Amino acid sequence: MKYDGRRVAFYAITLWAAVSLNFLIPRMLPGDPAQILLGKLARNGDVTPAVEKNVELILGGSDEPLWNQYWAYLDNIVHGDLGISVSKYPEPVWDLIKDALPWTLCLVGAATIIAFAIGIVGGAWIGWKRGSAWDHVIPFTALLQSVPYFWLAILLVYFLGMKLGLAPISWGWDVQTYDHPEWTWASVVDVFQHAVLPALTIVLSAVGGWLVGMRNMMVSTLAEDYIVTAEAKGLRPRRVLWVYAVRNAALPSFAGFAVALAFVVSGSLVMEQVFSYPGIGKLMITAVSNADYALMQGVFLLTTVAVLVVNFLMDLIYGYIDPRTRHHG
Amino acid sequence: MIRSTRRRSVVVAVALASGVSLLLAGCGGGSKGAETSTKASTEKPTGVANSTRVLNVWAGSMTPIVSNFNPFSPNVLHAAMGPIYEPLFAFNKAGSGDPTPLLGESYEFSADGTSLTIKVKSGVKWSDGDPFTAKDVAYTYNYAFSKPAYITSAEATDDTTVVLKFDSPQFTNEFSLLGTTFIIPEHIWKDVKDPAKFTNDDPVGTGPYVLKKGSVSSQAYTVVANPNFRDAAQGKPAVKTVRYVGLDGNQNAEDLVKQGKIDWTGMFVPDVDAVTALGIGYINTPQDPTTIYTCSNADQGCTGAQTDKAVRQALTVAIDRKQINDKAFKGLGAVVSPTFALLGRDDKWITNDAWKESPQSADAAAAAKILEDAGYTKGSDGFYAKDGKTVSLTLKSPSGWTDYNQAAELIASEAKAAGIKITASTISEQEYFDARGSGKYELLMGGVVGTSVADPFQIYKDWFAGFSTTKVGTPLKASTWNFSRYSNADVDAAVKAAASTNDEAKRKEQYAVIQKNIVDDLPYIPVIINATQTFFNQKDFSGWPTQDDLYMFPPSWGSVSSGVILANLVPLS
């Protein structure tokens, strides 16, 4: 219990610090939101005087001292109010996040799980067959990982989307058939089709990391005495592989996986941009390029809380799995 | 131990199975996608029931799209401006003819320019069926958000006549008053409590289209033909459904245009031939000058060598505009005039033939002469200096605006050949907008917004007049764009004098004064006129603006003009 209490206090302080930084960092960015918005509007032709007047009204800026702004900010967060986005004025930040979050969770979440599963199983297999031709898979996936993400996405769009016409290249669903995704079989299939290329991009670029980590852990685990013992006992190789080797080798990867899952909520900036896919990453881009503090804070807060919660859960679970951590935690 | 092992393996198995099935579902989906897409593409050319063919438009909206049809909001969606709400007249940015009447019929300024009498059409209805009258027009010009400060009164004298009175002559605000003020229905807007926060999710307008209810998503929204449109009896608009989509990148949009999934868009595409080879219609109507902004005025707080007129004059002859156009702008730009009149459209306003075009090739010798005459001497490093200070300037452009970035690099190397040291660097968009707004810069690559009528006056007033600028460090006021901090008493007086007359000869006299000064002072060094590219589906729709019949400014993002074009399109069967 004492261990849990310490942990809770630690996380409470971390959360407060993160939330405060969250307030400060956007305000240190250069740029006046009104000037940016007017500049962008002017790039697309006429800015009517009525609109300019409105921009000044909306973005007139707060003359409140920073300290008062900070208290108001904390107060709003406690009440679950994330404020109003200025770049999508007058849309509340929470509504923007609420619309984007399911897409991000499903697509980036599923892709992360798939990449992890392939990485662990594949890594285990390659580690098991170390020294065989399978080892050549490793440099190939490492290459995929080192290719700039953006470039990989463009290549997939070009070959699979444009040349072969295998999958749609934009949007989360077929906007030319459905105004909104529906709970019908055809629409669900359609949503899956639109997820193919975005998910493939994430999987291809992420799988290499899991694969190489798992393979190396397998190789060192297989050298352990208990594996030799198991083999000497005459256990079937399959049992030695899955029950003795993989279970132990996968432990470090699972810790990394938890963090990767936590970061799922921040979306995937490049993927969402290239495929015009709905998601949280897009909100981040919009927020940063328009100096939209409220939206930026909302997205940061979401990510911060998700990472902390997952870490907290991991800590608690580890504390019970491995009693040693309780005394050193 | 054994039990927990088994449980764990079950969990792993489930995780794997779900992962694999997801993957399979994804792959299966992919192959089905191919089937449906090929089916769609084989169906299209047969032209079955083509009048139901939806026109898909990308007007530059990025996702997520958020419902907002308030024409006074900066985040208003494109369909509100033209297709749903209309001003009284549509001015053609791409031509020099008379404005097209929309809700208006005719208008006349009083001789002194302080009052404007507008006749509006009769028998027009709002999309909810209520009649539109001159009262709605008067209401709009009195409405706090749309009322310009110079209007003293707006009154409907009968059902089809509105009289606007001003505190000073307003000849030059003809376009702003008649061509950009979207007329709103009094019976709806009088109940709007907070117009700044009003998103107007159920817009009632007079334009050819109305919003399809419930169609707004984060990715797209749809408008359908307005049954109460004034030309509905003539079958207009003939294209019954138009879908506006959101996209996050030009590459994405270009791919969709090639796939035939977008029928109309205006965006920069470097390799035009790859698109037109597929039979897609294309038109380029260059409009907006690209320049080098110089913080030119030491009196207003500008610092750096560019505050000396001689340096700016040397720079303008030192750069190779043809090369910049070919390399940075893919040869798609047009020749710029140092008078900022748009060549071809505004020729009659250019008061001296010598000022028609900015030099198209680099002339390092001429640049050297200008600098030497002004007392500069060439140092051993090959750069000119005066009073021991080498001419060394930074030319900044926003990172990611690749055409500007490349142009800046070219300008830097061309200036070097002429003995002027320029360092090209990129900054974030935020820093860029900040720098030009506050005046804390030496040189910036920057655009000047082209005028929407065949007259460069708006540029002279908003970009060159001393009353349109502020001291360095103070951001510019709304509706003023004089980032160069240029201030010249002769220009200011001429701008004011030109504003108070509608007589062409008298205005030309004033323009001659303005042009003489700005061609010599060069607070903005003109580079080229930017390309404005439009791509359109000419297989399934006709009635697009062409070079021969440029009845409206063609791009899909054009405010007002897009509504006129949509109403003019005809589906081909």
Q: Write the residue in A96, A173, A276 that is nearest to B252 by C-beta.
A: A276
% of chain B with per-residue pLDDT over 90: 75
Q: Which residues of A touch B23 (CB under 8 A)?
A: 114
pLDDT-derived band at B555, boundaries 50, 70, 90: very high
Tokens describing residue B489: 């008493």
Residue B115 has pLDDT above 80, yes or no: yes
Distance CA A320, CA B304 (A): 67
> Among B325, B411, B310, which residue's Cα sits nearest to residue B367?
B310
Quick check: helix, strand or coil at residue B525? strand
Question: Would the pTM count as exceeding 0.90?
Answer: no
**Cis-peptide into B64, omega within 30 deg:** yes
- Strand partners for B131: B125
Residue B450: per-residue pLDDT: 87
Chain A residue numbers touching B436 (CB-CB < 8 A): 39
For the residues B264-284, what does the mean pLDDT come to? 93
The mean pLDDT of B145-150, rounded to a whole number, is 84
pLDDT of residue B161: 96
Mean pLDDT in residue range B49-56: 76
Angle at B555 between CA B550 and CA B561, to 5 degrees: 65
Decide if B22 and A275 are in contact by the 8 Å CB cutoff: no
Is a pLDDT exceeding 50 seen at residue B7?
no
pLDDT in tens, B488-539: 999 999 999 999 898 999 999 999 999 999 999 999 999 999 999 999 999 9
| B217: Cβ contacts below 8 Å, ≥ 6 apart | A175, A179, A180, B65
Residue B260, chain A, CB below 8 Å: the answer is: no
Those residues whose C-beta lies under 8 Å from the C-beta of residue B489, and which sit 6 or more positions away, are B466
B381/B399 Cα distance (integer angstroms): 30
Q: Please state, for a pLDDT cut of 70, what percent of chain B lies above it.
A: 91
Q: Check CB contact of B13 with chain A, cutoff 8 Å.
A: no
**Average confidence (pLDDT) over B375-386:** 93
pLDDT recorded at residue A58: 64
Residues 57-86 of B with CB under 8 A from A: 60, 62-64, 66, 68, 71-76
Q: Do B33 and A196 touch (CB under 8 A)?
A: yes
Contacts of B60 in chain A (CB under 8 A): 44
B8 vs A207, more confident? A207
pLDDT digits (tens, 9 = 90+) for B328-372: 999 999 999 999 999 999 999 999 999 999 999 999 999 999 999
Q: How many other CB atoms are there within 10 angstroms of residue A117's CB atom?
A: 23
Residue B522 CB-half CA count within 13 A: 23
Q: Say yes or no to pLDDT of B11 above 80.
A: no
A248-256 long-range contacts (CB < 8 A, ≥24 apart) are A248/A221, A248/A224, A249/A124, A249/A127, A249/A214, A249/A217, A249/A218, A249/A220, A249/A221, A250/A120, A250/A124, A250/A214, A250/A217, A252/A213, A252/A217, A253/A116, A253/A119, A253/A120, A253/A210, A253/A213, A253/A214, A253/A217, A255/A314, A256/A213
Using a CB–CB cutoff of 8 Å, tell me whether A39 touches chain B: yes
Mutate to test the interface with A, among B140, B219, B222, B441 (most CBs of A within 10 A): B219
CA atoms of B493 and B502, how far apart (whole Å) = 16
pLDDT band at B183 (very low <50, low <70, confident <90, very high): very high
Q: Are B74 and A161 in contact (CB < 8 Å)?
A: no
Place of tokens 């630690």: A10
Quote the pLDDT of residue A323.
62
pLDDT at A44: 55
CA distance A158 to chain B (A): 9
Which of A179, A283, A286 minimises the CB distance to B215? A179
What would the pLDDT profile of A253-302 be if each residue is shown by its tens digit? 887 888 888 888 877 888 898 999 999 998 998 888 877 888 888 898 88
Cα atoms in the Cβ-side hemisphere of radius 13 Å centred on B508: 10
In this structure, are residues B221 and B69 in contact, taking their beta carbons and an 8 Å threshold? no
- Of the partner residues B16, B29, B76, the one whose CB lies closest to the CB of residue A193: B29
- Please tell me the distance in Å from A14's CA to the nearest CA on chain B: 30
Give A-chain residues touching B71 at CB under 8 angstroms.
50
Residue partners of A33: CB distance under 8 A and separation at least 6: A59, A61, A86, A87, A290, A291, A292, A293
Give the chain B residue nearest A55 (alpha carbons): B74
Task: Give the count of beta carbons closer than 10 Å to the beta carbon of residue B245.
Answer: 26
Query: Which range in A203-212, B140-149, B206-215 is most confidently predicted, on average pLDDT?
Result: B206-215
Q: What is the pLDDT of residue B2?
A: 36
State the Cα–Cα distance between residues A317 and A216, nearest whole angstrom: 25
CB contact under 8 A, A31 and B220: no
Q: What average pLDDT does the segment A196-211 reach?
A: 91
The whole-number pLDDT of residue B22 equals: 39
**Closest by Cβ to A55, choosing from B29, B74, B481:** B74
Q: Which of B60, B251, B478 sits opposite A56 (nearest CB)?
A: B478
Q: What is the ipTM of this complex?
A: 0.85
Mean of all residue pLDDT scores within chain B: 88
Average the pLDDT over B548-558 and give the result: 93
**What is the mean pLDDT of the segment spanning B142-160?**
90
Q: What average pLDDT does range B303-317 have in this prediction?
A: 95
Tens of pLDDT, residues B167-177 = 999 998 899 89
Paired tokens of B62: 């990025």
For chain A, the maximum distance between any two Cα atoms, rounded to a whole number of angstroms, is 85
Model confidence at B91, pLDDT cuts 50, 70, 90, reads very high
